[in-house]
Structure 1
Amino acid sequence: YLGNDNKPEISYADLKALLGKSQNLLLIDVRTKEEVDKGRIPGSIHIPVNTVEEALAMEPEEFKSKYGVTKPPLDTPELVFHCQMGKRGATATSKALEAGYLNACNYAGGYKEWFEKEGK
């Protein structure tokens, strides 16, 4: 999914649709522990932005034992990062793309937008 300025981004509507139907989606929340404790997108896993590079470099067994999910293959179809408002998610997405994840993208609206739409 490419956003307006060719950044790999995904919209709220697209993410919502994926969460509803995709078995392959891996949604990674890159905010701080304090932020995640206040609320999160259901189904997301928490990997703080400053540890994303390290996490993606882990052996699959180590990744699974630390995060509780299977490490995605480089060609995984749906790898989405998000933060609170988009900036850290974009950083994490860049790191994933550099690490060889072809379809990494950022949910640019972040938890802020998600909560505005879902949290009512």
Structure 2
Amino acid sequence: MKEITTTELQQQLENGATLHMIDVREDEEVEQGMIPGAIHIPLGEVPDRLSELDKATPYVIICRSGGRSGRAAEFLEAQGYDATNMVGGMLDWQGNVE
């Protein structure tokens, strides 16, 4: 499974990279803030919402600590998607949230 650190992700965003991020936390968790530009698909909804994703698009998967996002990234990879897990999750995120 591919991984990216919170620092690497933040640097890419600050450098103007266009990244497709999926936050797989639950509703009450994302109410505390999401990385700007991320879309919210709770982990349990990922299998039912695959039609919203493009297999040609690389995705960065985000959760609270990196565990759920790791499971989501493995699932997406098994379905033929390009998914990278953000290790450390929002607990390690030092950047802006919305």
Task: Specify the TM-score bucket, using the shorter chain as the normaliser.
Answer: 0.7 to 0.9
For residue 89 of structure 2, what is the amino acid of its counterpart?
G
CA distance in 2 between partners of 1:37 and 1:19 (Å):
21
Between the two proteins, what is the percent identity of the paired residues? 37
Count of aligned positions: 95
CA RMSD after TM alignment:
1.5
The runs of at least 4 consecutive aligned structure 1 residues that moved more than 3 Å come to: none
Matched, 1:18 2:12: yes
Please state which structure has a larger fraction of its residues in strand.
2
Task: Return the offset for 1:51.
Answer: 0.9
What amino acid does structure 2 have at the position aligned with 1:86? G
Separation in structure 2 between the aligned mates of residue 26 and residue 94 of structure 1, nearest angstrom? 17
User: 1:37 and 1:89 mapped to 2: Cα distance?
Assistant: 18
- Per the alignment, residue 4 of structure 1 pairs with none
Q: Are residue 105 (structure 1) and residue 84 (structure 2) matched?
A: yes
Q: Give the drift of 1:75.
A: 2.6
If asked which structure has higher relative contact order (CA below 8 Å, sep 6+), I would say: 2
What TM-score, normalized to structure 1?
A: 0.72
**The structure with more radius of gyration:** 1
User: Partner of 1:79: helix, strand, or coil?
Assistant: strand
User: Are positions 1:118 and 2:95 aligned together?
Assistant: yes
Q: What is the CA–CA distance in structure 1 between the aligned matches of 2:13 and 2:49, rounded to whole Å?
A: 22
Amino acid at match of 1:80: V
